[in-house]
Structure 1
Amino acid sequence: MSQSETAVRVIKKYPNRRLYDTETSAYITLADVKSLVMEAQRFIVQDAKTGTDLTRSILLQIILEEEAGGVPMLSTAMLEQLIRFYGHAMQGMMGSYLEKTVQAFIDIQGKLAEQSRGLYDSGSFSPEMWSQFLSGQAPMLQGMMGNYLEQSKKLYVQMQEQMQQQAKQMMGAFQAPPAKK
């Protein structure tokens, strides 16, 4: 692994809202930061004055711009539900649940891409072969989605069990000591 693969790229954010890429010694835009994300490059955005980590707020800005233009990925109802989880006892678990769910979806997408690899490269791919490929995809997709839903269900059940354990521990702390005889 080369040094550039392990190094985290530092982007400084100045009070005038400009972003400065210390690796390229140039000012960049949010679109450039989005490109870094799409290329899976590791980076951190820091306040130029204080060094405070601003990466999450910059990523949220990118999501906001993406949601405002084109076709939104997050529905109003979903955003409302997410907001309701802030300050809720399950807030920490919800983040982990969403992260694992998205990772499961990415894994399914990767498996599908792996299975379809070579179909587009082959010059001798006939319509009959394409038809066979598509007919085989439906059961495979059903299986993968079933696995995805099963993983999602297991994660949710684990979250519920953790909440029950936490509630029991909390209630145990509030119990009155046994009466002396």
Structure 2
Amino acid sequence: MKRHAPEGTVVIRKYPNRRLYDVTRSKHLTLDELVELIKQGREVQVIDSKTREDITPAVLAQVVLEQNSYLFSADFLHQLIRNQDGLIGDFLTEFLPKVLDSY
């Protein structure tokens, strides 16, 4: 889905070689630097350099899984994939964000 980033959002381009480029500050980023931006309270939008599609959710999910792989067992991930349209999907999209917002 193509969309414009809200004002103040750091726009990142992701290239096929997995490199990230911060359009806002004109510099390449590592995943760790992307995480630091988010920890500082910045909103980011990641755009695929070829298709111009917003791939922010996929990149952020990748970051969570790569940096916190110890949190997710293979069994849990299998169940998540099998039940993504059911109760677990509802939990992850409806309930969990509300809990994190209140934290």
Same fold per superposition (TM over 0.5): yes
Count the aligned residue pairs: 97
What is the alpha-carbon distance in structure 1 between the residues aligned to residue 96 and residue 53 of structure 2?
Answer: 29
What is the alpha-carbon distance in structure 2 between the residues aligned to residue 47 and residue 102 of structure 1?
Answer: 25
What is the alpha-carbon distance in structure 2 between the residues aligned to residue 43 and residue 97 of structure 1?
Answer: 24
For residue 98 of structure 1, the aligned residue among 46, 71, 92 is 92
Higher helix share: 1
What is the alpha-carbon distance in structure 2 between the residues aligned to residue 98 and residue 106 of structure 1?
Answer: 13
Q: CA deviation at 1:57?
A: 2.1
Q: CA deviation at 1:106?
A: 5.4
User: 1:79 aligned to 2:77?
Assistant: yes
Please state whether the residue corresponding to 1:17 is helix, strand or coil: coil
RMSD over aligned Cα atoms: 2.4
Q: CA deviation at 1:9?
A: 1.6
Alignment TM-score, normalising by the size of structure 2: 0.74
Superposed, 1:55-70 pairs within 5 Å as: 55-68=56-69
Structure 2 gaps, min length 5: 1-5
Q: CA deviation at 1:61?
A: 1.9
Alignment TM-score, normalising by the size of structure 1: 0.46
Q: CA deviation at 1:45?
A: 0.6
- The letter of the residue matching 1:81 is Q
Structure having greater relative contact order (Cα 8 Å, sep ≥ 6): 2
What is the alpha-carbon distance in structure 2 between the residues aligned to residue 51 and residue 79 of structure 1?
Answer: 29
- The letter of the residue matching 1:104 is V
Task: Give percent identity, aligned residues only.
Answer: 35
For the pair shown, the structure with the greater C-alpha radius of gyration is 1
2:3 matched to which residue of 1?
none
Structure 1 gaps, min length 5: 111-181
What is the alpha-carbon distance in structure 1 between the residues aligned to residue 30 and residue 7 of structure 2?
Answer: 23
